[in-house]
A and B are shown apart, each in its own frame.
Chain A
Amino acid sequence: MQGYVKTATRASRPFVLLLALVVIALALAPLWASRNTLQDLFFILTMLSLAQFWNLLAGYGGLVSIGQQAFVGLGAYAMFGAVILLGIGPIQAILLGGIAALALAIPTAFFAFRLQGAYFAVGTWVVAEVVRLCVSMWQAVGGGSGTSLPRDARDGLIGLDQIMALFSVRGAEARDIILYWLALCVTVATVLGLYAFLRTRSGLALSAVRDNIAAARSVGVRAEGMRWRVFLIAAFGTGIIGALIFLQNGRISPDAAFSVTDWTAFVFFIVIIGGIGTIEGPIIGVLVLFALQSAFAQFGAWYLVMLGLLAIGVTLFAPKGLWGLISARTGLSLFPVRRRLILSDPSEDKP
């Protein structure tokens, strides 16, 4: 043996413990958090998972999509459709939301993968608009003005009665608790799943494809297959989260479900501010977004202008985002994926 490969860093081991503690604290949030806080946490968690999927696409796969709202919206509408038309339980219907998004992703990829760079981005946006228009004509779920989730479906949520009894809360609060837990599960699964994937050789190859697709093909990487895989996974996850968000909302309309501001611009902001192509970045980014939102959201359009300017500023002056600044200063890496070669004979480290 001439050497070995190491991916863990000094910080990452204590961090695992910290992460576990945070997840436990979050899981126990219904015990310590008010209903408002719980809803805020739901917002943070769902935006974080959306951002991680977009990060997988754009940051790791080089597929800069500005049409992810297509999958949020379709996932949400498929869930509503399944509940209203087929009488399926809302939680089971979330899975259908993911599957519908996956089904949409296949023709979208056929179309969008023919386009390069900016054309790819615009192509995904066009698909989202087309899907929004089609859904607006779907009268059974309220057409252009939207609809609400039927009361009996909301009250029939799995485990509702138990939660009501356990925490001695009313139905609406118990529903928030269940959906919050679901959001926590989805987010933890997303972050850990993404991290596990990036540590495999496919994760390494994905970065190679992003950096240079011709060279990646020439060393035997199935570049097209990698891009397909990533696009489909991101669509499925995004559809699930979309369904979850609108199950929480209880109301859906095409404008809200296919909102480019909410599901692409904010997600873009989170990833860019935090640091694209890292797992840590979106975690920081979503906290920044939440803080700004709490402080400035009442300024309406000006708030959005400010977010835009901030994002431009960061792209210009700190292209690796806040996490990039932190890790450059401290050398920290909480989710290390880079492989470091450690030589058995350290003298070979010199030229």
Chain B
Amino acid sequence: MGLARPDTVPGPAPGTPILSLSGVCKSFGALKVADRISFDLPKGQALGIIGPNGAGKSTLFNLITGNLAVDAGTVRLNGRDVTRDSAMSRCAAGIGRSFQIPQPFGSLSVFENVCVAASFGRNLPESAVTDDCITVLRQCGLLHRANLPAAQLSLLERKRLELARAMATVPDLLLLDEIAGGLTEGECQALVDTIRSLHAGGVTIVWIEHVLHALTSVVERLLVLDFGRVLAIGAPDVIMASAEVREIYLGIDV
């Protein structure tokens, strides 16, 4: 997309990872859902995250975006410690995310949903973002639904709206949580194409997905999460060939 953030801050030293987690921990009572998670994500890379249900993938996203507070560890964005920053300021710092269970603004129209994201995510007046909203809605296949209340969308369309809203903030780092589940083959391909073109435009992507063929056709690196721990991280073919990962994914279409 030819969209730019107006308020580009002086960049960090070259080679600084866009996202860097070190020793991130989170527990819900006795349940440990993030156990000393550490990894670096170079700018421009696409990272896939896989793992069984309940492994703590979505929780990891919430820790990165600031929707949840970490118990221990640090989250760095472009080298800057944002561990104590609010979700709002992390959005301003360039994180966009989709929710696994879609969280539309139900009483607003599809267009208004995207408009809020475009206007507040980039801190631009409403009148300046209309065309960009249209572009995003077109890319996500929602343009013909623009004036419909978001509450009336089908589940599939809600997932697209999640993507559209995240894209509208023009993130440097885009976090996608299971947006391909339930799509037909054709729709999945269209989604993969959209994400690829975003990625080609320089956006760093972290993508949680159970639909492995869609995931592996985009990402350059794969992270396996199990019981809140990073089981493995590396090139997709190497990861998928590992016995341990195959065991965890036994029964899941590889």
The answer to whether B111 touches A341 (Cβ under 8 A) is yes
Chain A residue numbers with a CB within 8 Å of B120 are: 201, 205, 219-221
| A209 (CB) vs chain B CBs: closest residue | B105
Q: Scoring A residues 131 to 145 as 1 if CB is less than 8 Å from chain B, else 0, what string do you get?
A: 000000000000000
Chain B residue numbers with a CB within 8 Å of A277 are: 107
Q: Scoring B residues 107 to 140 as 1 if CB is less than 8 Å from chain A, else 0, what string do you get?
A: 1110111011101111101110011011100100
Task: Given A218-B91, A220-B169, A221-B88, answer yes or no on A211-B105 (Cβ-Cβ < 8 Å).
Answer: yes
Task: Given A339-B115, A348-B144, answer yes or no on A215-B99 (Cβ-Cβ < 8 Å).
Answer: yes
The answer to whether A219 touches B104 (Cβ under 8 A) is no
| B88 (CB) vs chain A CBs: closest residue | A217
Is B146 positioned at the interface, with any CB of A under 8 Å from its CB? Answer: yes
Please report the C-alpha to C-alpha distance between residue A93 and residue B111 in the assembled complex, in whole angstroms: 45
Chain A residue numbers with a CB within 8 Å of B133 are: 341
B-side binding surface: helix, strand, loop or mixed?
helix
Q: Scoring A residues 323 to 351 as 1 if CB is less than 8 Å from chain B, else 0, what string do you get?
A: 00000000000000011110100001111
Task: Given A212-B105, A215-B103, answer yes or no on A204-B116 (Cβ-Cβ < 8 Å).
Answer: yes
Chain B residue numbers with a CB within 8 Å of A1 are: 131
Is A50 positioned at the interface, with any CB of B under 8 Å from its CB? Answer: no
Which among A2-10, A63-71, A181-189, A229-237 touches the partner chain? A2-10
Which residues of chain A from 284 to 324 have a CB within 8 Å of any chain B CB? none
The answer to whether A212 touches B104 (Cβ under 8 A) is yes
The answer to whether A2 touches B105 (Cβ under 8 A) is no
The answer to whether B143 touches A348 (Cβ under 8 A) is yes
Interface residues, chain B, CB within 8 Å of chain A? 65-67, 86-88, 91-92, 96-97, 99, 103-109, 111-113, 115-117, 119-123, 125-127, 130-131, 133-135, 138, 141, 143-144, 146-147, 165-166, 168-169
- Further pairs besides A219-B116, A350-B144: 13, Cβ < 8 Å: A201-B120, A205-B116, A207-B108, A208-B105, A212-B106, A214-B67, A218-B87, A219-B96, A219-B117, A339-B109, A341-B111, A341-B130, A349-B144
Interface residues, chain A, CB within 8 Å of chain B? 1-5, 201, 204-205, 207-208, 210-212, 214-223, 277, 338-341, 343, 348-351
14 A/B residue pairs, CB under 8 Å, sorted by A: A204-B119, A205-B116, A208-B108, A211-B106, A215-B105, A216-B105, A220-B120, A220-B123, A223-B88, A341-B109, A341-B133, A349-B144, A351-B141, A351-B144
